[in-house]
Amino acid sequence: MAAKSGSLTELQKRYTSLCKAAGKAPIQRLLQTIDQDILELRGLKINDLESFTYFTALQYSVSIRSLCLECNDLGSSGAIQLAQFLRESVSLAELVSEVALSNRSFQEKRLLKIAH
């Protein structure tokens, strides 16, 4: 069940606004869980083109400890965007201790190393 617009948190509002500006519908699972410390985004079919909107919203989070992006369509440019957002967002770089990506040519540890 999606939160009503009057009851959205600041982070949910920011994410919704970014999606609207990009002409994309918010991913409901992300919208509902964006304020949690474990973000389970497995299998949402997020691709390189969509990743910018989602990672931009995530950089404002102050609680993410684990981010699962397994079974998405994230390629090299999406992974680079993620690393850049982790690097640019001091709070995220310090908070995210685990990033799970699967079936890609890059490794999770390498991504976190790039981000720091």
Q: Scanning the structure block, which residue is given the tokens 């990743």?
A: 51
H helix count then E strand count, the chain: 6, 3
Report the domain count for the chain.
1
**Is 30 a domain residue?**
no
CB-based contact 57:11 (threshold 8 Å): yes
**Is 109 a domain residue?**
yes
pLDDT of residue 100: 56
- Supply the range of the domain harboring residue 80: 37-115
**Is 18 a domain residue?**
no
CA dist., res. 16 & res. 37, Å (int) = 19
Considering the chain, what is the average pLDDT of its residues? 75
pLDDT of residue 34: 87
Instruction: Give the model confidence (pLDDT) of 13-66 as tens digits.
Output: 999 999 999 898 898 988 888 888 888 888 888 888 888 888 888 777 777 777
